[in-house]
Chain A
Amino acid sequence: MSKITVPIGPQHPLLKEPLAFSLTLEGEHVIESAMRLGYVHRGLERLSQERTYVQNVHLFERVCGICSHIHSTTFCQGVEALSGLEVPPRGLYLRALLCELERIHSHLLWLGVQARNIGFDTIFMYAWRDREIILDIMEDLSGGRVSHAVNIIGGVRIDLTPEHRDVILGQLDTLETQIEALLGVVENESSFQGRTRNIGTLSLEQIRRYCVVGPVARASGLDMDLRRDMPYPPYDQLKFRVPVRYEGDAWARTLVRMLEMVESVHLCRQILTTLPDGPTSARAKRRVPPGEVVSRAEAPRGEVIYYIRSDGSDKPARVKVRTPTLTNLITLPDQLQNISMADVSVVISGVDLCIACADR
């Protein structure tokens, strides 16, 4: 059979963001693949050296659209540790509330994209309709649907009245019913399983060798979640479970993300009902004392790590960002080996790409 080279990207209906693949097909099977990143590289690490810490909080929110809050959280966390600043508990809880809401948002968006890529438009429409509930909650809380700008160094700039809290709890109840319905479909529907079972399987050994993080790792049996393992406040005071599955295929990844959504709803409820009183932020100084810190957090896609070095001025000397998508991308050549062309879309979207995150 003759070989064809199929380009996927940088523009392709299957990709949300520009990423170039070049697949060599023989018949319907992929025999070789090459990947090119860098289409959305904006040089944020270099830019951050010329902005003050306050400006950088907003700069690092723009690393990604879907996980913007976790990026600014990790950055603020690191700078607060360098400055010796203690964030009041109410501020920490509100930060975590938005982190969890963002996690649900990210997973619902991903579910829609994955369903669309296997031709199941109905689930795409349902998931994105339920996403509107989360976006409404986030808009009422922060003023922005996707980009919140809630974090400041020292805490958060928003607050919550008891009435507003009750409204959010009601919306979370609606959301939970919808998520459970979607979970039922994913677990039981045969055509969905026919397209995702045994596709893109990664063994635990491969996960360890590539240092994969996030739901992709948890779907292959690696029990790693920084919210529980580190733990960073306020997760040390919250109870939740970490879903882990052992099949390692695209279906397991879907299930892990859906179960994580359910857990996040429970976490949001816990946060809202046990919200401590007090101020929401502490006053931060303009200059940060010299030092260096490694700040980690659990983004919707896995472990995000920031290394920040300060030289005593009001601008950081070096900020290094490593996002989870970059780690998960390295498994793609392995997953794309020898699969059918129709499964390429399932595999590529199964690692939950956020190329803006990977490229920075």
Chain B
Amino acid sequence: MSRLLTQIYLFEEIFAALQDAFPDEEFSVEDKPMDDTFLTLAPDRVRPVVELLMEQFDIYHLSTITGDDVGDGVRLLYHFWSGYGITLSILLPYDDLRIPTLTDLIPGAAFYEREVQEMLGVTFEGLETPGPMFLPDDWEEGDGPVRFPLRRNADEKG
């Protein structure tokens, strides 16, 4: 059997397992259109939750990682697919834009993390960065373009 998932678990089962594993954590759950559910987590909970999803429920398909500058920090969204969408939402404050990498669990996350790192200035600890991915090689020098293109203050110089 080589289907994407041998079994599709109901979101309630997954949520119950998460609450069992992290009893002192407050997960806020929001349903979104097009069959997606957003779970808000603290930055240090991402790796344990992903490990649990992978081991217990065989959810390994990471569609992408979105970085979004929402005004009071950079929000990271890890979009997973398991027959329906599960998105982990993490808010990183501007003065602490760091989060551990997922590339040892999911090697396919490398390109997504590099892009968020390049465009928004988030540091993924442990991520190998052989160089810029989309931006030119000489982006950081000179005073012309702004440093992180997708940040809010990208219109001002700095």
Contact = CB atoms under 8 A, between A and B. Distances in A.
Touching in the complex, A and B, CB below 8 A? yes
Given A38-B134, A43-B149, A221-B2, A211 B36 contact: no
Interface of B is mostly: mixed
Given A210-B108, A305-B79, A45 B150 contact: yes
B108 A320 contact: no
A296 B81 contact: yes
A212 B108 contact: yes
A209 to B, nearest CB: 5
A330 B4 contact: no
A192 interface: no
Given A81-B33, A221-B2, A224-B3, A211 B62 contact: yes
A244 to B, nearest CB: 7
Given A77-B34, A293-B33, A330-B108, A223 B2 contact: yes
Contacts, number: 101
Given A211-B63, A292-B32, A330-B108, A318 B2 contact: no
Nearest to B68: A318
- 9 smallest beta-carbon distances between A and B, as pairs: A322-B64, A211-B108, A81-B33, A210-B108, A224-B4, A38-B134, A221-B2, A41-B134, A320-B66
A10 to B, nearest CB: 13
A249 interface: no
B101 to A, nearest CB: 15
Nearest to A34: B130
Interface in B59-104: 60-64, 66-68, 77, 79, 81, 83, 85, 87
Contact of A294 (B4, B61, B85, B154): B85
Q: How large is the interface on A (under 10, 10 to 19, 20 to 34, 35 or more residues)?
A: 35 or more
A241 to B, nearest CB: 14
B135 A41 contact: yes
A224 to B, nearest CB: 4
A296 B64 CA distance: 11
Interface in B7-23: none
A236 B135 CA distance: 40
A232 B84 CA distance: 11
B29 interface: no
